[in-house]
Amino acid sequence: MKKTRFFSIFLIAVILGAVWFGSLRQVRGHNNQTDPNHPAAAEKKGPEVLQDPNSIKGDNETGNTELANPLKEDPDSRLPEFFDICDKIFSSYVTNEGLVQYAALRRSRADLLPVMRLMREIDPLHLMSLSIEGKTAFWINVYNLCILQLIVDNYPIQPKWYMIRYPNDSIMQISNPWTKNYFWVQGLQYNLEEIEQEFLLNRTQDPRICFALSNASLGGGRQRRQAYRAENLDQQLDKQVRLYLENPIGYQLDQPNKTISLSVLFQTKRATFLASEFATIKKFRDYPDLQRCWLNFLAKYIPQKDIEFIESNPCTFKMISYDWHLDAGQ
């Protein structure tokens, strides 16, 4: 009886041991096949493809191989090329009055392709080597090019029945123009609001940029016939502000009624003004912070006689309605 019981226990132990040993071999075999570091797996594994962090996906899942390796040539040659093409585009389609020949640009829309492609391929590491002025000039040009591309893609603009508060040709007739439409820059996609806030206003805190960015409307800053460049950016921005304030859409002083009228752009960009150096100047202390900031800014650009009047006569402020008509020229 004892022998039989011992034999039964021994037989069960042998069977369990065989089952355990077989399972162990299967697990090890499975791990050998799935572990990417195992020699057996290395034999089946294809060559490793290193993904360029600046690579750009194409229209399909595998990506556009033509654009996947930007800057194969010396990156030092790409940014000067970008600014030169910007000059060519702006001088060809922007009038002396800062209006844009959208109809002509629509007919020759292929002219935008080289600069938009180059904008997409520029190496972020190379851009980082530029001065603050160089980066700012680059992003202003990028923004204004994206505005041109947006209008050309939707030209002639089709009005929507529920946007009756805006002119039929307004950029506001395009669905969410600032946030819904994305553009390739340096291998990544950004909308207009991101470009304006993240790369320009938040980084520079310079309200002059508000007048350098085109909103494709008569109420905003006008396009220039030349690209913005680092070497003369300060002069270019000052000129943009003066041109804007010389126009009744930007600034008016009514001396009999002691009223200063400013474009509503000053109000919508109040955060930029309050974050700027003009908020720290102690002049015009009798005015609220925002109005004092505006006056300190205006003092640099409006006629001296206007400043003297404002200093001697407390004035009230009035906002000028924004003109959303398309800034189209012939």
DSSP for 228-247, please give it: --GGGHHHHHHHHHHHHHHS
Instruction: Decide if pLDDT at 231 tops 80.
Output: yes
Instruction: Decide if pLDDT at 66 tops 50.
Output: no
Query: Looking at residues 281-293, what average pLDDT do you find?
Result: 95
Instruction: Decide if pLDDT at 106 tops 80.
Output: yes
Instruction: State how far the alpha carbon of 276 is from the alpha carbons of 194, 268, 293, 300, in Å.
Output: 19, 15, 8, 14
CB 200 within 8 A of CB 140: yes
CA distance 222 to 211: 8
Higher pLDDT, 21 or 164: 164
pLDDT confidence of residue 7: 54
CB 240 within 8 A of CB 224: yes
CB 209 within 8 A of CB 141: no
Mean residue pLDDT across the chain: 84
pLDDT confidence of residue 330: 87
Query: Looking at residues 143-153, what average pLDDT do you find?
Result: 98
Instruction: Decide if pLDDT at 14 tops 80.
Output: no
pLDDT confidence of residue 309: 98
pLDDT confidence of residue 2: 45
Which pLDDT band, with edges at 50, 70 and 90, does 324 fall under? Answer: very high
CA distance 186 to 199: 13
Query: Looking at residues 256-270, what average pLDDT do you find?
Result: 98
CA distance 102 to 104: 5
Instruction: Decide if pLDDT at 117 tops 60.
Output: yes
CA distance 157 to 36: 55
Which pLDDT band, with edges at 50, 70 and 90, does 67 fall under? Answer: very low
pLDDT confidence of residue 126: 87
Q: Which pTM value belongs to this model? A: 0.78
**Rounded to the nearest 10 degrees, what angle do helices 233-246 and 132-153 cross at?**
50
CA distance 174 to 231: 35
Instruction: Decide if pLDDT at 74 tops 60.
Output: no
Among 303, 296, 250, smallest CA distance to 276 is for 296
Instruction: Decide if pLDDT at 101 tops 70.
Output: yes
Least confident of 2-11, 61-70, 92-101: 61-70
Going by C-beta distance under 8 Å and a sequence separation of 6 or more, which residues neighbour residue 322?
217, 219, 220, 263, 264, 265
The size of the chain, in residues, is 330
Query: Looking at residues 254-275, what average pLDDT do you find?
Result: 98
Least confident of 27-31, 106-110, 132-136: 27-31
pLDDT confidence of residue 34: 35
Higher pLDDT, 137 or 65: 137
CA within 13 Å, CB half, 322: 17
Residues facing 253 on adjacent strands: 260
Instruction: Decide if pLDDT at 65 tops 90.
Output: no
Cα-trace Rg, the chain: 31
Which pLDDT band, with edges at 50, 70 and 90, does 70 fall under? Answer: very low
Higher pLDDT, 330 or 68: 330
